[in-house]
Structure 1
């Protein structure tokens, strides 16, 4: 499955603990990645600077749903389930 045009949910919803160029401490959940373009495309796609966790995340029908809002809801649910906050 290819990424949905103008979605970017996977670059907004999840937290990323590893450094990202321009975000040396990673990013909190729900914060738009600094590397996300206005068209919701990753500026680091295919580059070595892209965090491994980002490169490992593959679009799927389950994760992406049928819209950006469905993808954000799914990723928010995963973030909540895997959060280390107590």
Structure 2
């Protein structure tokens, strides 16, 4: 499965504990990553400074569902239970 362009759920819903350029302490859950542009695309995609956790995340129907709203809801729930 490929990411839905402009979704951005994985850049907002989960917490990220590793440093992100512009967010040296990582980011809390529900906070928009500073590297997410106005079109909800990652400015660091393909850049070696992109955190490993972001690089390793792969779109999956079980997580992303049928679109960005479902992806956001699923990721919020996964964050809540972990």
Q: TM-score, structure 2 length as denominator? A: 0.96
Which residue is equivalent to 2:79? 79
Question: Structure 2: how far apart are the matches of 1:63 and 1:11?
Answer: 14
Question: Structure 2: how far apart are the matches of 1:46 and 1:34?
Answer: 16
Say whether 1:37 aligns with 2:37.
yes
Report how many aligned residue pairs link the two structures.
82
Q: TM-score, structure 1 length as denominator? A: 0.92
Which residue is equivalent to 1:65? 65
Say whether 1:22 aligns with 2:31.
no
Question: Which 4+ residue blocks in structure 1 deviate beyond 4 angstroms?
Answer: none
Structure 2 unaligned blocks of 5 or more: none
Structure 1 unaligned blocks of 5 or more: none
Match of 1:63, SS? helix
